[in-house]
Structure 1
């Protein structure tokens, strides 16, 4: 059953889309690394176990990597902890992660499974076929503890009153947050099938659906589900109690306003009736001598109440003369007001455009140096006044001078635009602000965010910049990366900054530490 859209519906739908894209991007990134190594393994070079070790170092999220021959025998394996991995005697040809690449010739993301060798940890396998002269010659596979990646996002959603559910292609549970009834690898049954049936595609919008039986306490929920590119489904669940808690204060406020408005109208009508009777008497007395000698159309006299006919005779002439003068004056005023309004609007628009342009960086669309100074001072004072935290990220593109020297300034400008877009995609709140004080330096203001939350945003910025895959041959990483320094201000703390410049200096110091530690990282 579809629910009426509202703020919670929009928030749940947005978080479902965001979670689906983030998980898809994470799995695709891991799969790309495995696919690249599978393609290079057939060209010779270093032994497979050495190449597997390099893959684990390049992708820290991977727990174990292995390679098989065409029959499904494991021929090389390497664990992330550096310990030697004994080669299994049995064949793995019946495993999904082996069969799918062998039969389709394409990379594959498996459904979730448990591996007893790692203490029953929840795993997902990404695998790619190894081809020799166009023929299948084995599979390269990496195991990923998927719940470690999802748990941070799930905990963040739960702090805001939402639950997160992730189902694989077999309708089994990959992840369910604490408030839901399922655990890892539980079958979701008919409820899961209903969720999958109502899931929208990434980028599409749909109404929230109401369901019963998803929570441990059996309460009714509203959810928004998105079908991922891997064939999985992610759903963000909002308990009914949360929605009611948001709606009841507003309903009470509306009822109170309605009661006050009704009472006000009744009082106004009563007062108007009394005032009308008194005013008519005073008006008759004052106007009777004002237009003495005036005339009024007899037809008008007969239409008026007998009590008001003396008043009509007194104001007839005065009304005619005043109306003529008023009409002439009104025409003149309307003409002048129209001219003044047109000029005022033109001037206001010009001033607004000039003010916006003076605070905006034309290349990246972010705030320029002037806008940066204004935003820093404004947000620092607002945080002080409201008692809420304020965090700032100092960003510096690694080896950007080398990039300009190698590719030229035109390519450098394009890279700055792509970099700014990648940073914006990592910001979740509408009041987060991106500024470019100059060159390759950027500043992000995060009002209401603590140091821990800002650290998560900084890590997400690094990940999004790497995922943008901006080729940088002069960088050790081979693509553009960013170093991030973090500073945070909590107004309740005694050792907080005296002004915004102090906080920015702390962020710059953290940025220098990140660069000194090797770049492409976050330092607080």
Structure 2
């Protein structure tokens, strides 16, 4: 039996629960609105930061591209202008004019067609020091020579007036239609990025410039890298997330970018030169403004909590006495008693529906149990129907997984399963069994000449031609991969297999699928034949190996033939 101490403990537990719920009900709106304001402000701050990052990255990429395009245009124009003399591919006076027109250049030089440096001028108007006599292995020489187009190089070190970090813009020179050398101008990285980097730094943003290989061309002082440092996996991640100029992308948050190893937001844009500009902002920039707002919200919650507790002190005492009377009455009712009307009338009107509703609880529970059983029965029928539908879907999926989507033939998996089944049946009956290994001749040349779209069409037509040459319903055509096909001929002798191969080649000739890159001007096929005579026991793998070997002989003996 339950004693008075147990009743008192239960009533206190109920009062504590009620107190917690009332406190929660009072504080929840304040908390929700406070959090909503904090989150809303944080999102606005974040959207503003994302916009700054995106705008900074896009404008930086455009600025760098325009700067490089302008300087590259000057080099390209001078390279396309015939030299004024014949002593060298490019007189010093012309190099001096280029350096004067583009003060950002530190040095200009010209090479002959072999990469030998024949002229070099510094920005001061004096002959520039040459760190090397031949530049044939430099990418600023190789790229214009091989492509015939102007080129922006990767970053590199050179000793001109010190140990400078440079990039090179270069253009090919031609004389009488032949490559005659390269005109190159060296541009200090600092002159390219200094103004833009300072602008971003004043806005609290960092600049990272990467070359095509993911090496550092420039990194702000708060970043952890220096010129030509490889970024490894992190750099590859930044390059993958970069967007083209003019495209909008969402900035990502990455670790390990800043010198302090804290996380940072990064927005990367791919330049027209193939380089990547990344503008970076520390994650702390979003967290710092939120701390004063969080303190204000906590103060508001504390003030609200004090007021609620003062009110609850009074309400708790009132509820304690009424809940005690109600619990006492419920205890007697559970043992078979009834509710005392005088007790009910003295309770607050909020608790009177509870007392009146307890009497209906048992009947409602029985009705609810009946409805639950009915719902469970209906659910079991629905589950059974869905199980059948799922089984049908699985069977359909299995069929699709064994079929080549392009040609409608069996794929490699279907070929293995069907081949083993047919071979086993033939072995059990001591019946004959033959295999044809087929390869379309010169199909790579077909794809190279006509394109893969026409190549797919040719594969479909080829599969249709082979099917038309098969006479029996249980003959199986499979595409093992690429232009390789196989035919299973249950019950076929070696003579019948030869005839089937001849029919295939004849139908292929009649189809006359044009192949301009083939010796005969049409699509042909080489066929390897292997067969198991009736009463023999030859493993399927052995038959396939023999057919492949025969196919190899057919191709080595000139193609467009069948070999056993």
Query: Which of 1 and 2 has greater Rg?
Result: 2
TM-score by length of 1: 0.47
TM-score by length of 2: 0.44
